[in-house]
Amino acid sequence: MFELLDTKKAGAISKLNKVSAIIPAADVLSFVEKLAEAYKEHKMTERELARIEATRDILMTEMAKKYELYHKVFDQIFEERRIAVGKTFAIIDKGLADGNKELVSMGLNSLSTIVSTSPFADFKQLSGLLEGGGVIEI
């Protein structure tokens, strides 16, 4: 066992001799200080990188949630328009089947109103609601 310790001790001394040949003894303290400084800087960089990655993850999650919200809102808007257009065509079809010109005219006027208005007409208001952080009932 003592032989093993002597071997390790001899190896360590051999390594120190090699280092002292490269770095003069007077500069060892300076080298250790610079090494400690580099280690501190490395740790600060690791913390900064972790902060940046956490911020990125938060922003990516926020973007994904906003995408989901906008997707639901626009699906709902266009679903309502699809239903309204379908009902209007049903009125026009009924008017044509019954020979009722007033019903056909009313259906065409309604259809004209639906298709002439843009679902994006109040986009600034909608965007303000979506970005405002308030509760939006879909």
Q: Reduce the secondary structure of 106-132 to three states and give it as a string.
A: HHHHHHHHHHHCCCCCCHHHHHHHHHC
100 lies in some domain? yes
Give the CA distances from residue 122 to residues 20, 22, 83, 116, in Å, rounded to whole numbers and listed in that order: 77, 75, 20, 14
Domain holding 102, by residue range, is 25-131
- Is the pLDDT at 27 greater than 80? The verdict is no
Q: What is the pLDDT of residue 48?
A: 97
pLDDT value at position 90? 93
pLDDT at residue 44, rounded to an integer: 97
In a domain, 81, yes or no: yes
Return mean pLDDT, the chain: 82
Q: Is residue 36 part of a domain?
A: yes
Rounded to an integer, the average pLDDT of 62-91 is 89
Number of structural domains, the chain? 1
Q: Taking 70 as the threshold, does the pLDDT of residue 53 lie above it?
A: yes
Residue 13 lies in a domain: no
Which pLDDT band holds residue 25 (cuts at 50, 70, 90)? low
**19 found inside a domain:** no
For residue 137, tell me if it sits in a domain.
Answer: no
Any idea which of 32-41, 67-76, 116-125 has the lowest mean pLDDT? Answer: 116-125
pLDDT of residue 12: 64
pLDDT tops 50 at residue 2: no
Between the alpha carbon of residue 67 and those of residues 80, 103, 129, 130, the distances in Å are 20, 41, 15, 11
* pLDDT value of position 4: 46
Residue 84 covered by a domain? yes
> pTM for the whole thing?
0.52
* The pLDDT of residue 118: 76
Is residue 120 included in any domain, yes or no? yes
